Amino acid sequence: MNRWRLRHLSTRGLLYVGAILLALQAAFPFFWMVSTSFKPPTEVFAQPPSFIPNDPTWDNFHRLFTATGFLTYFRNSLIVSGLAVLLTMVVSAAGAYSLTRYQYLGREKIAGLILCTYMFAPIMVVIPFFILVKKMGIENTHFALVLAFTSFCLPFTLWLMRAFFKTIPLQLEEAALVDGAGRVRAVIHVILPLALPGIIATSIFTFILAWNDYIFTRILITSDELKTLPVGVQDLFHSALIDWGLIMAAGMMITIPALLFFVAVQRYLIRGWGAGAVKG
């Protein structure tokens, strides 16, 4: 075996080790969560702790769906996060495009200002935000939540998208424009494919940020029917007749759909989506 092959194999080996470690560190707590959600109460604290439940039960899930408002919360979370992602991505994609492709007075200053507004700790912004929302008369509505999520997602999505857009060479659009395509077509056929991984990544982050928000939902929403998952889970946790199995079941039901979605979507984070365009 020559040196090159040995090197290649050992690199490959290291790669697999790295991948396995990566998967393990994320999966281990996840599987622990899954395992506990199937355990009956008496087994939860059993020593030695068992990875695979000795006496698995669906009871926790049954109670989660029937005795709590979980399904309502799930639906609400989906609606609000989905709308927030839509609004944020459209606005920030346009904004990022503007910040990287157009020239106008104060462009960089605007970017800087947006960044500045971001440096105020969200926890302190909540109360005046609530007052603002109250003045607008939209407290306790999903609309207010979507606005709240947008307000704390937009600055970062703008900056992230701006960074991704900057990596796309300007020559590409120029070439398209020279060929006679309108700017819109240039964007759709040239920029979008190259920006897709960036757009997907940013959408995922926006979704997660909105999906996991706690404090804004807690303060802005009062009605049980409008609550989202994090608030619902937190209440379950504090209900003091706490049910570890129930909480873990809730955790599982929150993450599995999202995980499945990501398995589907991560396909688009592949090389080659935009690489071809550079040659052309």
Which residues between 31 and 90 bind another protein (CB under 8 A)? Answer: 32-33, 41-42, 44-45, 47-49, 67-68, 83, 87, 90
CB 72 within 8 A of CB 227: yes
In angstroms, the CA 120 to CA 173 distance is 37
Q: Which is nearer to another protein, 20 or 56 (CB)?
A: 20
Q: Find the binding residues for another protein in span 156-175 (CB under 8 A).
A: 156, 158-160, 162-164, 166-171, 173-174
CB of 214 to another protein, least distance (A): 6
Q: Find the binding residues for another protein in span 114-143 (CB under 8 A).
A: 114-132, 134, 138-139, 141-143
Residue 241 interacting with another protein (CB under 8 A) = yes
Residue 6 interacting with another protein (CB under 8 A) = no
CA–centroid distance for 269 within its chain: 15
CB of 53 to another protein, least distance (A): 14
Residue whose entry in the numeric block shows the structure tokens 């994320």: 26
In angstroms, the CA 167 to CA 208 distance is 25
In angstroms, the CA 237 to CA 234 distance is 5
CB of 71 to another protein, least distance (A): 13
In angstroms, the CA 225 to CA 159 distance is 35
CB of 263 to another protein, least distance (A): 4
Q: Which is nearer to another protein, 49 or 56 (CB)?
A: 49
Q: Find the binding residues for another protein in span 215-234 (CB under 8 A).
A: 215, 218-219, 222-224, 229-230, 233-234
CB of 1 to another protein, least distance (A): 18
Q: Find the binding residues for another protein in span 250-279 (CB under 8 A).
A: 250-251, 254-255, 258-259, 262-263, 266-267, 269-275, 278
Helix (H) or strand (E) holding 132: helix 122-136
The residue length of the chain stands at: 280
CA distances from 50 to 54, 55, 60, 120, 158 (A): 8, 11, 18, 44, 46
Q: What x/- string results for residues 198 through 217 when contact with another protein is judged by CB under 8 A? A: x-xx--xx--x--xx-xx--
Residue 188 interacting with another protein (CB under 8 A) = no
CB of 58 to another protein, least distance (A): 17
CB of 3 to another protein, least distance (A): 12
CB of 166 to another protein, least distance (A): 5
CA distances from 161 to 48, 91, 98, 251 (A): 48, 11, 11, 30
Q: Which is nearer to another protein, 75 or 218 (CB)?
A: 218
CA–centroid distance for 214 within its chain: 14
Tell me which residue of 17, 157, 57, 31 sits closest to 97, measured CA to CA.
157
Residue whose entry in the numeric block shows the structure tokens 């105020």: 120
